[in-house]
Amino acid sequence: MDYAYALQQLINGVTLGMIYGLIAVGYTMVYGIIGMINFAHGDIFMVGAFLSMIALLGLAALGITWVPLALALTLLFAAAITALYGWTVERVAYRPLRGSFRLAPLISAIGMSITLQNYVQVSQGARVKPIEAVIPGGIQVMNQGGFTVELSWMQIAIVATTLAILAVFTWLVKRTPLGRTMRACEQDLKMASLLGIDTDRTISLTFVIGAALAAVAGLMFLLYYGVIDFYIGFIAGIKAFTAAVLGGIGSLPGAVLGGLLIGLIEVFWSAYFSVEYKDVAAFSILIIVLIFMPTGILGRAEVEKV
C-alpha cells in the first residue's frame, strides 16, 4: 500500500473539502430559514472568485505587494462586494416572491444564476483567467520511494483561514443577538415574526453572510487552482449543495462535514479511479445519500404535520 500517495490525496481532499464546506454553509443557512434552494449561490461564489482576482490585480497595480496584507485586503474587499451581491439578489429576485408558491422562487433563482453567469461573461470575457501563484512553496512532509508528499503553504493557509472564519461564524450564530434571531427564524419563521423579530432583515443578513462566506471560498479557489472562468459556479454549486445535503441540510457543522467528505471522495476517486467520472461519483453519492439517509448525517428528521 502506497501510504505516501494516499496521504497526499488526503491533504488535497481536505483543502478542496474546506472550499466546498464554505459554499455549503450558504446553502444550508438559506434552506434552513426559508426552505428554498438558492440556486444562484454557486454563481455568487464565482462572482466572489472574480472579485478576488480583480482585487489582487488592483492591489498589485497600487503597489501593495506584501502578501499577507494584500490577501487580507482582498478578502475584505471580495467579501464586502460579494455580500452586496447576495443582498441584491435576495432583494430583487427572492423577496417579492416570499409567500408565493414553491416553484416561483426556484425559477427566479435559476434565472438569477443564468443572469450572473452571463453578466460575468459579458463584463469580464469568456476566457479562462490564470493568475500566478500568490504563495509559492511548501514543506515536504515525507518521502517514500521517490514520491514526495508536499504540504504547500497555500494549503495550510486555506485550511487555517477556513477554520478561523468558521470559528468566527460559529461564534456569530451561537453567541450574538443576530445569531439568536437567525436560529429563531430557522425554527419557526412565523412565530419569530410574531415575537417581534424583523424576519426580512434576518433573511437579508443570512444572504449577506452566506455570500461573504462564498466569497472567501472564491478567493481560496482562485489561490488554490490559479485559474477561474465564469462557469466554475455551476458545478461547484451543485457539489456544495450535495455537501449540504450529505451533512444534513439546515445543520451548519453538517455542511462543513459534508464538504470535507465530498472533497475527499472527489480527490480519492480522481486519484484511484478516473478523473473524467469524478463528478459522477459526487452526484451518485448525492443520490445514494438521499435515498438511504434523506436527512443526511447530522440532520434532524422532518416531521410532517397534516
Partner 1 sequence: MTPLRDAFLSAAVALGLFGPMVGLLTVSGEHGLSLELRPIATAVIVGLVFLGRLLVLSWRGRGRVETYKTNRALAEGIAHAGKFIAPVLLVAAVALPFTGSRYYVDLGTLVLTYIMLGWGLNIVVGLAGLLDLGYVAFYAVGAYSYALLSTTYDLGFWTCLPLAGLFAGCAGVMLGFPVLRLRGDYLAIVTLAFGEIIRIVLTNWVSLTNGPNGITGIPRPTLFGLRFSMEGGEGTFAGFFGIEPATIQRVIFLYYVILVLALLTNWVSLRLRRIPLGRAWEALREDEIACRSLGINVRNTKLTAFGMGAMFGGLAGAFFATRQAFISPESFTFIESATVLAIVVLGGMGSQLGVALAAIVMVGGLETLRDVLSFLGDQMNSPLFAGIAGQLPLYRMLIFGLVLVVMMVLRPRGLISGRTPTVALGARKEIAAELVAQGRG
Please give the residues from 125 up to 154 whose contact with partner 1 meets the rule CB under 8 A. 125-127, 129-132
Count the neighbouring beta carbons within 10 Å of the beta carbon of residue 183.
Answer: 15
In the complex with partner 1, the residue whose CB is nearer, 29 or 51, is: 51
CB of 116 to partner 1, least distance (A): 8
Q: With binding defined as CB under 8 A, does residue 301 bind partner 1? A: no
Residue 267 cell numbers, joined: 480527490
Alpha-carbon distances, residue 165 vs 10, 201, 214, 267, 277 (angstroms): 22, 23, 11, 24, 32
In the complex with partner 1, the residue whose CB is nearer, 98 or 180, is: 98
Q: With binding defined as CB under 8 A, does residue 112 bind partner 1? A: yes
Alpha-carbon distances, residue 61 vs 69, 120, 220, 273 (angstroms): 14, 22, 21, 43
In the complex with partner 1, the residue whose CB is nearer, 58 or 253, is: 58
> Rule CB under 8 A: which of 148-207 touch partner 1?
none
In the complex with partner 1, the residue whose CB is nearer, 81 or 166, is: 81
CA distance 195 to 166: 29
> Rule CB under 8 A: which of 205-264 touch partner 1?
234, 238, 241-242, 245
> Rule CB under 8 A: which of 67-86 touch partner 1?
77, 81, 84-85
Q: Which residues of 121-156 are buried (b: 16+ CB within 10 A; e: fewer)?
A: eeeeeeeebebeebbeeeeeeeeeeeeebebbebbe
Alpha-carbon distances, residue 152 vs 8, 134, 161, 187 (angstroms): 11, 12, 14, 42
Q: Which residues of 105-117 are buried (b: 16+ CB within 10 A; e: fewer)?
A: beebbeebbeebb
In the complex with partner 1, the residue whose CB is nearer, 1 or 291, is: 291
CB of 144 to partner 1, least distance (A): 32
CB of 199 to partner 1, least distance (A): 19
CB of 143 to partner 1, least distance (A): 33
From candidates 4, 5, 119, 150, binder to partner 1 by CB under 8 A: 119
CB of 123 to partner 1, least distance (A): 5
Q: With binding defined as CB under 8 A, does residue 50 bind partner 1? A: yes
Classified as helix, coil or strand, 65 is: coil
